[in-house]
Amino acid sequence: MCPYFFMKRICFKNRILELDGVPLIMGILNVTPDSFYDGGRYFDRSRAEERAFRLVEEGADLLDIGGESTRPGSDSVTPEEEIRRVVPLIEFLAGRIPIPISIDTYKAEVARVSLQAGAEMINDISGLTFDPDLVSVVAESGVPVVLMHTLGRPQVMQENPVYRDLIAEIKEFLAGAIQKAERSGVRPENIIIDPGIGFGKTMEHNLEIINRLADFQALGKPVMVGPSRKSFVGKILDEPVDERLEGTLAAVAIAAWNGAEIIRVHDVRAARKVVRIVTAIKNVKREKLALSEVDG
């Protein structure tokens, strides 16, 4: 059980990560042939291992390993294939890197085997909606879980996504996912939420989410976002995926300013520098506010 403190924290089996005002950086490692940015780059086992150590060196607080692309229009793979891609890597890295490993999957069997191999966290893009058995795996294992909002499966989620009230509908979805998880035995302190940038959203939707991230804090859970090199950045800048670093970092800065507590990125070193600057500026603002209140 995670010890109670006023400060938010993420509790793993043998370690605790404090959410102390400086956003945690989750490094992305896709061992897939078809992910939108790094698909194929780390499909080779030795290159994947090298990349994992590099992300740790760059300052990642968490490592998120995925074995199935969830880019818009992507096809799903079987649990067996996903396990074949991720489990040997997790087994190799567990105990060799000093940060927790997250498994990016919505499949119960993949999550179960990955946790047995050494993963300590589950990142579910479906918010417990794609596989009804996943919530039991989360509850029984006692690990932290990210519950993300998506509007349908990756194959169709970008086909004219429409909302009556974007933020209210995402919050309603996430509140339902939280309720389902907690009723199924998932510890309340183990739940992290993600509004799902790029998952069934237009460019305008993504911008509104980043602008209104603070609204999601009303749900009482740590908020994670993943703006890294996504299509909304490319549309604004008219740039291909390899030229979206600066745009991504701008989104990271605004997300950090607006209350994101975990930021999931490909470019860990650069994102780490950005959140340090944002945090320093926010702390000065808080200190000045506190002084003014004392003087008043």
In the numeric block, which tokens belong to residue 48? Answer: 């994947």
Map residue 118 onto helix, strand or coil.
coil
pLDDT of 75 reads 73
CATH number for the domain that contains residue 46: 3.20.20.20
13 within some domain: no
- Is the pLDDT at 5 greater than 80? The verdict is no
Mean of the pLDDT values across residues 138-167?
Answer: 87
Q: Are 21 and 65 in contact (CB under 8 A)?
A: no
Mean of the pLDDT values across residues 77-85?
Answer: 95
121 within some domain: yes
Q: Residue 122 forms beta bridges with which residues? A: 103, 145
pLDDT digits (tens, 9 = 90+) for 115-131: 999 999 999 999 999 99
Containing 147, the helix (H) or strand (E) segment is strand 145-148
Q: Are 170 and 195 in contact (CB under 8 A)?
A: yes
3 within some domain: no
pLDDT of 71 reads 67
222 within some domain: yes
Number of structural domains in the chain: 1
200 within some domain: yes
Question: At which residue do the structure tokens 């989360």 appear?
Answer: 138
pLDDT of 288 reads 56
Quickly count: other Cβ atoms within 10 Å of residue 123's Cβ.
Answer: 27
- Is the pLDDT at 246 greater than 90? The verdict is yes
Quickly count: other Cβ atoms within 10 Å of residue 219's Cβ.
Answer: 16
103 within some domain: yes
- Share above pLDDT 70 across residues of the chain, in percent, rounded to a whole number: 88
Find the range with the poorest average confidence among 87-101, 170-184, 271-285: 271-285
pLDDT of 232 reads 96
Whole-number Å distance between alpha carbons of 159 and 285: 42
- Is the pLDDT at 81 greater than 50? The verdict is yes
- Is the pLDDT at 70 greater than 60? The verdict is yes
122 within some domain: yes
pLDDT of 286 reads 62
Q: Please list the active-site residues.
A: 230, 264
Task: Name every residue whose Cβ is closer than 8 Å to that of residue 67 and which is 6 or more positions away in sequence.
Answer: 30, 31, 32, 77, 81, 82, 83, 84, 85, 86, 104, 105, 110
pLDDT of 126 reads 96
Q: Are strands 262-265 and 224-225 parallel, antiparallel or unpaired?
A: parallel
Burial-class residue 161 by CB neighbours within 10 Å (0-12, 13-18, 19+).
middle
Rounded to two decimals, the pTM is: 0.91
Domain that holds residue 291: 21-295
pLDDT digits (tens, 9 = 90+) for 207-224: 999 999 999 999 999 999
pLDDT of 236 reads 97
8 within some domain: no
Q: Would you place residue 294 in the very low, low, confident or very high pLDDT band (cuts 50, 70, 90)?
A: very low
